[in-house]
Amino acid sequence: MGKILSTVDEEIGRLTAFLIEKQQQDGSWHFCFENGIVIDAYVIILFRVLNVQNEPLIRKLHDRILDRQQQGGFWALYPDEEEGNLSATVEAYYGLLYSGYSVVTDEPIRRAKHYIRSKGGLGKVTSILTKVILAATGQRKWPLSITSIPLEVLLFPNYFPINFFEFSGYSRVHLTPMLIMADRRFSITTAHAPDLSDLKDPRLDVDDEPLPRGYQEMQDDIQIGLSRLLGTPRYIHEAASTKAEQFLLQRIESDGTLYSYASSTILMILALLAMDYDQQHPIITQAIQGTTAMQCRSEGKTTMQNSPSTVWDTALIAYALQEAGIADEHVSIRRAGSYLLSRQQHKIADWSIHNQNTVPGGWGFSESNTINPDVDDTTAALRAIQSLSNTSPTYQESWNRGLNWVLTMQNKDGGWPAFEKNTNKEMLTWLAIDGAKSAAIDPSEADLTGRTLEYLGNFAGLDARHEFIKRGRKWLIQHQEKDGSWYGRWGVCYIYGTWAALTGLRATGLPASHEALQKGAEWLLSIQNLDGGWGESCQSDRLMRYVPLMESTPSQTAWALDALISVQQQATPAVDQGILRLITSLHEDDWKSTYPTGAGLPGNFYSHYHSYRYIWPLLTLSHYRKKYEGS
């Protein structure tokens, strides 16, 4: 035990020194938030369509995309997606050719073309974003899944079964520009646009999309809603167009981006063009500048982040450093606290539609985000400033506002959502859109509920004597899987959810002997790898069952260990073996170190947080030392 603890101490010292040295002058930390090649390709396409003169960036993005091609000619969303990903490959192929730095006769392009055609061509693409980019740039018809939703949906009243603010905030800011473009059957192209017609299988209709269960029922409700709108069809349509335009303009951040996401910003730019905005309009120019600023350079390659993770990383790192023993008066913690204080949100925004009469007080994910706070970032920031709030009235006020905001965000069912409460209408998941089940609504999730409970228990001193804790615990226990795991929405995936649930339940006083905690711990031990670590494939969230990676990743190993530490009074051989494996992994640089363990949209979008290999191991090692040092 003594030898392990000395190794743990040494590693904690190394990690804390590294992170303190990495802090920016303003108190923040800037780590890359890597999202595959999707945004890289979209930026190339957008810049070529608009003739944006930024050749160095286009060339760098081209080179990174090309570097990511797999031996089979395809691109994959994660290393063990062995048969590749058709949507990602189409995006890469299109972006490479549109850049002008690759041509159809190049060997990598020929291999990609062969792969795309072997998978059925453009007509078999499933990603709605890919379909929309192709349609908006003249490479395919507008998909039925979008054209079947009339723009007039934006006018449906809030009490109607289908209304726009029942969709999740993430869904709204992407769907609105899509609907604007589809309404006008918009497309824009250039003389130098690649011709993708040879990627289409003439035997397949690209609009031959399978309709989900309940789709017709939803269409019937839309028709009923249309019949209740007052005015001539032309007047109603013009009112809907105006409302859609205003919806976009009112949600532009100071950096020019829409809701601080690159993906929605790119769609917004195309939608503004569809509404006859000039390409040099200041809103479009600023949006391009804001998107361009989202680039990140790592290991000699440049990529586009969908939404830089600066606030999230800063909050988590400041919290992890304090757990590791760095005092709150340390200059690094003071700087981080000051930065986080400046990023607390004070605006009434879309989150208030379902949470009225609540004082703002949340935090968002990225630096430019001022109107889209979320529960997870807020509890992360509150953990980071907790010690500062004990001695400073300014931080105490900030803490109180944040805590109040988090408590008011609890759903009726007892769990916590990400961005907006009580937006969980199953009907909206019947859209004929791949990923609609995850993107269209914002329900209670085990990872969010568990992490919120962990904050409320360990940092706010609350327990089951409070009704909201009781309801949150009840929701979590009811949503445990039969095998003892929990599904996590924003991390990969069952390991992430189980870690959040176990630590949250323990923090709010559920005894370690409770059946739910024992089952969760047993499940984690049952999937431990032979090397002592843990690893889970991104396939888990597509198949909705645990899929082993067969290798160990640093963040997933840290999550599993942290969960076990929370429920086990004594260090066990399994935990000790895991700790040693975790420490070893921190000195390795291979695909396991960069495996995407952040989840965005099942089957479409995964993230590699460059900060995760430092944050979660540091937390876990600190918790191991704190709990077992005297035993």
| Residues annotated as catalytic (active site), given as ranges | 376
Tokens (6 digits) for 309: 């993770």
How far CA 12 is from CA of 340, 365, 576, 617, in Å, comes to 24, 26, 16, 9
Q: Which residues, 6+ apart, have CB-to-CB distance to 314 below 8 Å?
A: 27, 28, 29, 336, 339, 340, 384
As given in the structure block, the two tokens for residue 449 are 């509920």
Q: What type of residue is 165?
A: F
State the amino acid at position 146 in one-letter form.
I
What DSSP character marks residue 346? -
Cis peptide before 538 (omega within 30 of 0): no
CA–CA gap between residue 539 and residue 198 (Å, rounded)? 30
Question: Cβ atoms within 10 A of the Cβ of 602, count?
Answer: 21
Q: What angle do CA 108, 114, 116 make, to 5 degrees?
A: 100
In whole angstroms, what is the distance from residue 484 CA to residue 52 CA?
52
Cβ–Cβ < 8 Å for 616, 558: yes
**Terminal CA-CA length for the chain:** 9
User: Helices marked H in 258-392 — which ranges?
Assistant: 262-274, 282-292, 310-323, 331-343, 375-389
DSSP string, 218-273: HHHHHHHHHHTS-S-HHHHHHHHHHHHHHHHHTTB-TTS-BTTBHHHHHHHHHHHH
Residues 6+ positions from 189 with CB-CB distance below 8 Å: 49, 137, 138
Residue type, 12: I
| Helices and strands per DSSP (H, E), number in the chain | 25, 5
Strand partners, 598: 491, 607
200, HSE (Cβ side, Cα atoms, 13 Å): 15
Q: How far apart are CA 554 and CA 574, in angstroms?
A: 16
Residue 316's contacts (CB-CB under 8 Å, 6 or more residues apart) are 380, 384, 611, 615
Nearest-5° angle of CA 494, CA 495, CA 499? 115
Hey, what amino acid is at 421? K
Distance CA 440, CA 198 (A): 33
Question: How far is it, in rounded angstroms, from Cα 476 to Cα 500?
Answer: 10
Q: How far is CA 288 from CA 45, 257, 269, 278, 279, in A?
A: 12, 8, 8, 13, 11
